[in-house]
Homo-oligomer: A and B are copies of this chain.
Amino acid sequence: MTLSDTPAQIHLPNGFSFSSVAAGIKASGRPDLALVTCSAGTRAAAVFTKNRVVAAPVQVGRAALKRARGRVRALVVNSGNANCATGAAGMAACRQVCREAARHLGVNPTEVFPSSTGIIGVPLPAEKIVVRLPELVAQQAATEEAACQFAQTIMTTDMRPKLASVRFRSRGTEVRLLGIAKGAGMIHPQLATMLVYVLTDVAARTTELKRHLVQTSEETFNCISIDGDTSTNDTVLLLASGQADVRLDQCTKAFNAALLEVCRSLARQIVRDGEGAQHVIRLSVEQAKTREEAKQVARAIAHSALVKTAWAGADPNWGRILAAIGYSGAPVNPARVNIFIGAQQVCRNGSAAHFDQKEAHFHLAQSECDIRVQLGRGRSRLHFYTTDLTAEYVRINADYST
């Protein structure tokens, strides 16, 4: 199995074509509208934001997937506008885009999956999108270059495009996965969204895809945090074209490993591109009673403003981590808690351990750091990725004045 984070090593699955244009939704004039088409027989599964405030494309996409029983023939994605908190007009605009795209492609409107990312509360200029659809349909290409352009087009405040690709062989046939994501925070300056698309050419039923996607998302995208804010537009979509002549049930293990690798890579790329982030923290919570408990503790630590500012200062301040564990809601006995920074134990049974402050400071000054917490309650463990909270984060999010 080969994993590649960089566009140079894309393994393009069969059955997908890409095109992008600048439709004038972004004020910058950069590309902001993209189309992906999928061959007939493509099956899809998706997971969405748990926020009760959901954007129009999330509502339309979720309903369409259900009605079409997981059949998808195209994605239409715009950046620069989230089409969220836009009321009935926003729903109508989204449906109009799907309808027009379906007409040009000769498919059913419920087989067109919409996504939007960008500013909240501003009407979506559907007319700017509709007028460019013929051009998008004409320009489609099943090339690495077009896939990379797609990754660029869906960016908002992202510094880098995010792609991950894996291939494996099963029964003499090559199966390919390509993941493309955007996101540099759960929410951006007045801009929303983590969007993730994973394309593969394996042949699969919708229910199989859903099962794999839910499990993998739980271990990857649900185990990252930048600022603790859950977006209104988060979408993870898995598309299987079936062009590889291998059925998913013939390569379940290999496919699951490949999907996990792609999603894990994309999740880490999102954290690394976190707004203002100087340090990526690999946070391990061990000896929890359940995985859910480990996650509860990891989230409390990863959301603590005091812990995150200490990380920004490369300060081995384990007292703040201990305090966050204490208010996490998990029924932890502090006298059984151990904390490690890098290889060093800094807290033993809830009290200070003897450790080299300079070495701990040095470890935390690295671009990627390890923090390990043991709760002394059970055998469950969890790996969580997060960032520090810097003055630069505040500047990015405060100095954007409407």
Contacts and interface: CB of A to CB of B under 8 A. Distances in A.
A398 B312 contact: yes
A90 B351 CA distance: 10
A306 interface: yes
B398 A350 contact: no
Nearest to A90: B351
A170 interface: no
Interface in A270-317: 303-306, 309-310, 312-317
A301 to B, nearest CB: 11
Contact of A394 (B320, B324, B394): B394
Given A85-B322, A86-B351, A121-B352, A315 B400 contact: yes
A35 interface: no
**Most B C-beta atoms less than 10 A away, residue of A54, A231, A320:** A320
A375 to B, nearest CB: 11
A357 interface: yes
A390 B401 contact: no
A361 B119 CA distance: 18
A360 to B, nearest CB: 8
A313 B120 contact: no
**This chain: how many copies in the complex?**
2
A397 B313 contact: yes
A190 B51 contact: no
Contacts of A331: 52
Interface stretch (A129-137, A202-210, A222-230): A222-230
Given A51-B326, A53-B323, 10 more contacts: A85-B319, A121-B322, A230-B326, A231-B323, A303-B303, A305-B397, A310-B397, A315-B401, A390-B394, A391-B394
24 contacts: A51-B323, A51-B327, A52-B331, A53-B325, A53-B327, A85-B319, A87-B350, A90-B351, A121-B322, A121-B351, A187-B306, A190-B319, A190-B320, A229-B305, A229-B320, A230-B326, A230-B327, A232-B323, A305-B305, A305-B393, A313-B399, A315-B398, A361-B402, A390-B394
